Chains A and B, each alone.
Chain A
């Protein structure tokens, strides 16, 4: 006879405890042998150890509870509220129920306007975060709109004067669905039919983007007439979710513990709640209705982070409940099992898949499989055997994307979409699945539009002659009717539409698409949702590009206000905004430190968040551009080659971004004196530019200038001229409305500007050969047609400078000075660094000195000092020229020492210029230096 453990002598405890450790370490099957092999010195402990082994085995089979359980208390004692109490517009009548979240009372309106009794839900005040309180009103309006025969209607909600929140719901007189089935000994088929009422209700709610989050038998009541009523739709969200993780882990844990038995794995992990979460809970309820118990309760409790792969197959029919089959329509176990094997097993398993993307993509799909099963039609869920399932798990990771495709393919057959909120999902596969689903829904919709379009336009157009623009308008206008109930797809299409309208410079259409996008988001999310802010930012950018500057700034300011209110500073949302705002507000001409700092800050934020999308890439390009303008060529090159590397590794890079990146690489390389690298990058950029938007587009023209510059700087004047001539011919064709085959006519305003710019370039090239009279008339004429303000206003002084040079060459210094005065006036207003401005001002001083009024020599000197001040420590040729001119002024004054010092500085500056520049600049300066030295050395 073994003594009880409590009577074990204390001196034997340590020995016993160590042996027990050893015993529990070894596998259950080996314990009998281990016990039998105990040596005689342990004879007094053998009995206790055997007991321990039995208990352990028993506890492993049925793990003891991990939380305390109390006997039920007295009803009256535990009710927080009391009958007769007034809460908001209601008076409590009798208590209906109580749960972890609060109490439910039957109540009546105090003002007597409505006689009906409602179920008044009274959540504990501390369960509602400040955010939830704020959202209560909006959620109420939203949920009150959810009306369905199988859903208990939410009538009203509010917060009483003492802070007690209340929700008035349709009072349902019914019985829990599981009890209802049990009491009526419903057959399997009848249970499935009843369950279909539940899926109908959930489908209707999902169509309105309302996820239940807490589906369980106690929330599913059945009336005496057999009508299912689902309670508490969307209310779990109101209670448990403050809208964002603004409190501590504590509230998250508190929220998480709602009803763990029905919670999907991602819900327990605190991950994103989606429609798939409800699919899972429905799977648990279905399992319970079909088998009388929840699936694998033991495996789900306790170990929080069980990997889905570790879980054994979920086959409903393998559960052998003792008395259940008899309750399910009076079946014996074998017949019950046969009823479940196959379809129902497979359906339940697919609903209960641990990974959300492996579940039914929508409740509708679950329901349709159940209907097919009832009608003896083949179902879409795969029949799963144990072997097959094991194989599937082994291949899970590799198949993550593939299974997403399977999901979307099965979706094509059914057509219903209700996967949403996946934007924030963390798992790659989940995202891929959601995207595949949406992409397919979008594709289906587009195909429908394509098919119908020829008919739609047959009356006024040739079939098939519909333009992309008309097509898009039709898609957008048809969204409400064709995709009602699929807001996520609508959002997706609107997002595509607004991007296209932006590219097509259709600001009204783009703004309308943005407004509709925001309206859909507002209906389902916070007014501070990042999607709303991003939409405002994008709309601001679109308006800016369409030259609606005032509207653009107002929209961007509104976005800024929301960013600050939402506490989204230093996030990608702010970085997007910074990029657009800076682009819209940077100086039209020149560059300053604020612009570089703003783009840099956005760039730093994008990097910190690992953001690498089109927006962050454009920001990097804007930054690189600003840096090249500022002479920070190394940093610009670093940024653009980084980006180039990433683009090169993509299978289908965005050619447009690639072309612009190559351009930046080319410019930076040229500034760093590397002609070959610059040339390769610019030529590739040109090919891509021509392949995407054609030669009339502004960024093609920019690359064109860089190419001409490079040719001039490397002494290939003829090649440069040929390039310019080709471009001029193109613009002449455009001006004369006779495009060559394959060319389209572009905006005449743009043609005027681009033609003038090319002409300026041509004049400068001819200048060096002393032949500028060939273009001067055309150039002078084109100046009159150029805008005096806006982005293009710099064209005027640049053209005037070219005209002035021509006039000088023609021996007409007065005419030249006239042009230079006008050009200088424009450029003197500019306080930021802009190389052509400095060049113009330097030339003005130089020419003034040589040909102008001697009295203005002092003014010229001041002008040159201003040029040097604006250039700062940048080593550019114009600085050397200014220094040389200052030397000449000093020499003219007879100040030989100062003159020599400036001349030496000029040549020193020139030696430090890394940028590629025409050799003629160097020889001209050297000649001037030599002439200066000669004049100083000559006897006066």
Chain B
């Protein structure tokens, strides 16, 4: 059976900008639930599994609202969704680590969809690879890292990211392209 929905205390999000401490507490409540949700959103595709993060974030927001929190609007919602992307990143990375451990236990090696390109390591869509590249990128280009986190882990469309970060959609597209180039280079 799917896990029972955790009850989340209302944080009065409709009145004040999100208080990160209470958001943390709330996500803390939701975290186990989110992981279960993430598992259920895995879609098998050959040897790999796709994770529909957009739907995942949306579903978890929906759950939060259903369990007593208030619907978020405007700026608050956007800040909150940025935060949600960060949380989703850790959910996904945790899940990937678990998987890798399982496989290694079975004597298999995590297989990457490597597109050989000279001596460059392919950074495609493996969450662990992206995660470490993203950490390296954040130290140098925090905004680009934020864009990648929201796009890749949060699954948000460019328009919403632009609005959340207060930049143009064109900037988001450029940031995304540049970030993907830098991340691939940073992994070498």
- Chain A complexes with chain B: yes
Which B1-58 residues have a C-beta within 8 angstroms of A? 1-2, 39-45, 47-55, 58
CA distance A147 to B27 in the complex (A): 47
Residue contact A59 to B180, C-beta cutoff 8 Å: yes
Residue contact A59 to B48, C-beta cutoff 8 Å: no
Known interface pairs A66-B152, A124-B40, A304-B157; A72-B49 also in contact (CB < 8 Å)? yes
Residue contact A100 to B188, C-beta cutoff 8 Å: no
- Chain B nearest Cβ from A745, distance in angstroms: 67
Residue contact A68 to B92, C-beta cutoff 8 Å: yes
Interface string of A207-240 (1 = CB under 8 A from B): 0000000000000000000000000000000000
Residue contact A69 to B49, C-beta cutoff 8 Å: yes
User: Of all chain A residues, which has the CB nearest B157?
Assistant: A304
Which B37-95 residues have a C-beta within 8 angstroms of A? 39-45, 47-55, 58-59, 61-63, 65, 71, 92, 95
- Chain B nearest Cβ from A144, distance in angstroms: 27
Known interface pairs A65-B124, A78-B42; A71-B47 also in contact (CB < 8 Å)? yes
Residues of A within 8 A of B187 (CB): 6
Residue contact A67 to B177, C-beta cutoff 8 Å: no
| Of the residues B51, B130, B184, contact of A55 by C-beta under 8 Å | B184
Interface string of A21-32 (1 = CB under 8 A from B): 100100000000
| Of the residues A51, A70, A251, contact of B42 by C-beta under 8 Å | A70
User: Is B96 interfacial (CB-CB < 8 Å)?
Assistant: yes
Residues of A within 8 A of B110 (CB): 71
CA distance A21 to B2 in the complex (A): 47
CA distance A5 to B123 in the complex (A): 15
Which B147-188 residues have a C-beta within 8 angstroms of A? 151-153, 155, 157, 174, 177-178, 180-182, 184-188
Residue contact A70 to B1, C-beta cutoff 8 Å: no
Residue contact B48 to A70, C-beta cutoff 8 Å: yes
B interface residues, how many (CB within 8 angstroms): 64
CA distance A254 to B56 in the complex (A): 8
CA distance A797 to B52 in the complex (A): 78
Known interface pairs A55-B120, A67-B155, A68-B92; A20-B181 also in contact (CB < 8 Å)? yes
A interface residues, how many (CB within 8 angstroms): 50
User: Is B138 interfacial (CB-CB < 8 Å)?
Assistant: no
Known interface pairs A68-B130, A70-B95, A70-B99; A126-B124 also in contact (CB < 8 Å)? no
| Of the residues B1, B54, B123, B185, contact of A64 by C-beta under 8 Å | B123
Interface string of A51-76 (1 = CB under 8 A from B): 11011101100101111111111100
Residues of B within 8 A of A68 (CB): 51, 53, 92, 96, 125-127, 130, 152-153
Known interface pairs A62-B115, A124-B40, A250-B62; A73-B49 also in contact (CB < 8 Å)? yes
CA distance A54 to B125 in the complex (A): 19
Residue contact B111 to A254, C-beta cutoff 8 Å: no
User: Is A582 interfacial (CB-CB < 8 Å)?
Assistant: no
- Chain A nearest Cβ from B1, distance in angstroms: 7
| Of the residues B44, B55, B63, B151, contact of A257 by C-beta under 8 Å | B55
Residues of A within 8 A of B127 (CB): 68-70
Residue contact B51 to A98, C-beta cutoff 8 Å: no
CA distance A87 to B14 in the complex (A): 40
User: Is A248 interfacial (CB-CB < 8 Å)?
Assistant: yes
Residues of A within 8 A of B65 (CB): 248
Residues of A within 8 A of B188 (CB): 4-6
Known interface pairs A56-B181, A64-B125; A254-B55 also in contact (CB < 8 Å)? yes
CA distance A54 to B74 in the complex (A): 40
Residues of B within 8 A of A641 (CB): none
- Chain A nearest Cβ from B68, distance in angstroms: 15
Residue contact B55 to A70, C-beta cutoff 8 Å: no
Residues of A within 8 A of B58 (CB): 250-251, 253-254
Residue contact B44 to A100, C-beta cutoff 8 Å: no
Residues of B within 8 A of A162 (CB): 1
Residue contact A66 to B151, C-beta cutoff 8 Å: yes
Residue contact A52 to B55, C-beta cutoff 8 Å: no
Residue contact A5 to B41, C-beta cutoff 8 Å: no
User: Of all chain B residues, which has the CB nearest A52?
Assistant: B181
Interface string of A873-907 (1 = CB under 8 A from B): 00000000000000000000000000000000000
CA distance A67 to B39 in the complex (A): 15
- Chain B nearest Cβ from A70, distance in angstroms: 5
- Nearest 9 interchain pairs by C-beta: A65-B125, A68-B127, A5-B185, A69-B125, A250-B58, A4-B188, A70-B49, A257-B55, A254-B55
Q: A: which residues have CB within 8 A of B?
A: 4-6, 10, 13, 17, 20-21, 24, 48, 51-52, 54-56, 58-59, 62, 64-74, 77-78, 80-81, 98-100, 102, 124-126, 162, 164, 247-248, 250-251, 253-254, 257, 304
